[in-house]
Copies of this chain bind each other. A is one copy, B any other.
Amino acid sequence: MSVETNGPATNQAAPVSPVMVPSTGPITREELQLASRNHALPLEMLRWPITPVGMHYLLIHFDIPKVDPISWRLRLGGLVDHPLEFTLPELKHRERRTVPVTMECAGNGRSRLEPRPVSQPWDQGGVGTAEWTGTPLAPILHEAGIASDGVELVFTGADRGVQGGTEHQYARSLSIEDAMGDDVLLAYEVNGQPLPPQHGYPLRLLVPGWYGMTSVKWLESIEAVAKPFEGYQQAIAYRYQQGPDDPGTPVQRIRLRALMVPPGIPDFFTRNRLVPAGPVLLEGRAWSGTHPIERVEVSVDGEWAESHLEPQAGAYAWRAWTFPWVAAAGEHELACRAIDTAGTVQPNEAEWNYQGMGNNSVQRVKVTVRN
The interface of chain A, by Cβ under 8 A from chain B, is 20, 25-37, 39-40, 42, 44-45, 47-48, 52-56, 58, 60-64, 66, 111, 118-119, 121-123, 125, 160-164, 167, 196-199, 262, 265-271, 274
- A27, B30: Cβ atoms closer than 8 Å: no
Bound complex: CA A162 to CA B58 (Å): 28
Pairs A–B under 8 Å by Cβ, sample size 23:
A27-B31, A30-B269, A31-B32, A32-B32, A33-B271, A36-B122, A37-B40, A44-B63, A45-B198, A47-B66, A48-B66, A52-B196, A54-B55, A54-B196, A54-B198, A54-B199, A61-B268, A62-B265, A63-B262, A161-B268, A162-B268, A163-B267, A164-B268
Bound complex: CA A262 to CA B161 (Å): 13
A32 closest partner in B (C-beta): B27
- A62, B266: Cβ atoms closer than 8 Å: yes
* Closest A-B pairs by Cβ, 5 of them: A54-B54, A26-B26, A163-B268, A36-B40, A44-B63
A42 to chain B: which residues have CB within 8 Å?
37, 60, 63-64, 198
Number of copies: 2
Other A-B pairs, 13, CB within 8 Å; known A31-B32, A162-B268? A27-B27, A32-B32, A32-B123, A33-B123, A36-B40, A36-B122, A42-B64, A42-B198, A47-B66, A54-B54, A54-B196, A160-B265, A163-B269
Bound complex: CA A125 to CA B64 (Å): 14
Bound complex: CA A48 to CA B63 (Å): 13
- A274, B162: Cβ atoms closer than 8 Å: yes
Bound complex: CA A103 to CA B326 (Å): 42
A64 to chain B: which residues have CB within 8 Å?
42, 44-45, 55
Bound complex: CA A56 to CA B267 (Å): 24
- A161, B267: Cβ atoms closer than 8 Å: yes
A269 to chain B: which residues have CB within 8 Å?
20, 30, 34, 118-119, 163
A167 to chain B: which residues have CB within 8 Å?
265, 274
